[in-house]
């Protein structure tokens, strides 16, 4: 349409109000749709991230559970099966019994810890996740102490010499060739060498005892402990990240 004030041969079109309204409505609808799509992608991304966290936490928690069962079962087996382990040790060695009891207790605690972790992860309970992370650090400390005790156990063997006690009697550097180190006997004297009868001297060599004990038991224990330590550190890191994710999601929803 045109109006008479226009120059000759030209017309000026005036936009229809309805067309302007429709154009603005389309633009607003497009913006709303884009915002909706953005929020939907953001929600889906947050949901997927939460599911990924839960998947890996439960996966490591399951491995943690298996290692805890192995630790508890191994400790129970060693405590009950004296023929396998105590043949290389003094039957009155209380430190060994304490180590086995610590193994059983630690394995049992790990089972309860895994149950606690599962509840906190599945239900997304923040205080349970914090408690779970704290107990994981406690478990790491117990594993370090247990590994130290296992290594210290090699000092408790009752043996003498590399092959047997004659390694010391053949030593030409001693004043008395019949003397053996006091650690080779059941003597309570704190001296380098003692004059003890043969029946008071440990006859078996230390090399065989240490090799027998470590190949049969210590390597397995250390392997389980190492696996537990790795699982605990990974689980602790993921738990803290999951806790922060839940906290940020709650703040975003407010």
Q: Which residues of the chain have pLDDT under 70?
A: 1-28, 30, 32-47, 81-96, 99, 146-147, 149-221, 249-254
Non-local CB neighbours of 139 within 8 Å, separated by 6+ positions: 106, 109, 110, 113, 228, 232
pLDDT number for residue 180: 58
Q: Give CA 246 to chain center in angstroms.
A: 22
Are residues 141 and 75 part of one domain? yes
In a domain, residue 17? The reply is no
Are residues 191 and 88 part of one domain? no
Count of domains forming the chain: 2
In a domain, residue 87? The reply is yes
pLDDT number for residue 134: 84
Are residues 241 and 154 part of one domain? yes
pLDDT number for residue 85: 47
In a domain, residue 188? The reply is yes
pLDDT number for residue 60: 82
Are residues 193 and 145 part of one domain? no
In a domain, residue 135? The reply is yes
Give the residue numbers spanning the domain of 235. Answer: 51-158+205-254
Are residues 241 and 148 part of one domain? yes
In a domain, residue 199? The reply is yes
Sign (positive or negative) of CA dihedral 11, 17, 18, 24: positive
Torsion of CA 5, 11, 14, 18, to 10 degrees: 140
In a domain, residue 25? The reply is no
- Taking the C-alpha atoms of residue 241 and residue 108, their distance in angstroms, rounded to an integer, is 26
In a domain, residue 7? The reply is no
Q: Which residue has the tokens 């005790």?
A: 149
pLDDT number for residue 1: 45
Are residues 115 and 217 part of one domain? yes
Condensed to tens digits (0 to 9), the pLDDT of residues 84-129 reads: 444 444 445 565 677 678 778 878 888 888 888 888 888 878 888 8
For residue 114, CA distances in Å to 60, 94, 126, 130, 189 come to: 10, 30, 16, 14, 49
């Amino acid at each position: 349409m045109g109006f008479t004030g226009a120059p000759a041969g030209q017309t000026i079109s005036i936009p229809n109000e309805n067309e302007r309204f429709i154009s603005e409505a389309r633009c607003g609808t497009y913006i709303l749709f884009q915002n909706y799509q953005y929020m939907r992608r953001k929600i889906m991304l947050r949901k997927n991230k939460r599911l990924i966290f839960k998947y890996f936490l439960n996966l490591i928690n399951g491995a943690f559970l298996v290692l805890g069962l192995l630790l508890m079962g191994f400790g129970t087996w060693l405590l009950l099966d004296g023929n396998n382990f105590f043949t290389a040790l003094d039957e009155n060695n209380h430190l060994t019994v304490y180590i086995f009891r610590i193994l059983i207790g630690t394995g049992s605690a790990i089972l309860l810890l895994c149950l606690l972790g599962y509840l906190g992860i599945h239900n997304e309970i923040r205080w349970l996740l914090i408690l779970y992370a704290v107990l994981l650090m406690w478990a790491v400390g117990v594993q370090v102490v247990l590994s130290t005790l296992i290594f210290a156990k090699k000092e408790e063997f009752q043996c003498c010499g590399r092959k047997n006690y004659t390694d010391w009697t053949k030593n030409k550097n001693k004043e008395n060739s019949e003397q053996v180190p006091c650690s080779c006997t059941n003597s309570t004297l704190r001296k380098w060498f003692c004059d003890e009868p043969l029946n008071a001297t440990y006859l078996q060599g230390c090399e065989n005892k240490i090799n027998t004990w470590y190949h049969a038991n210590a390597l397995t224990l250390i392997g389980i402990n190492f696996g537990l330590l790795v699982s605990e550190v990974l689980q602790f890191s993921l738990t803290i990240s999951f806790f922060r994710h839940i906290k940020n999601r709650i703040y975003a929803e407010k």
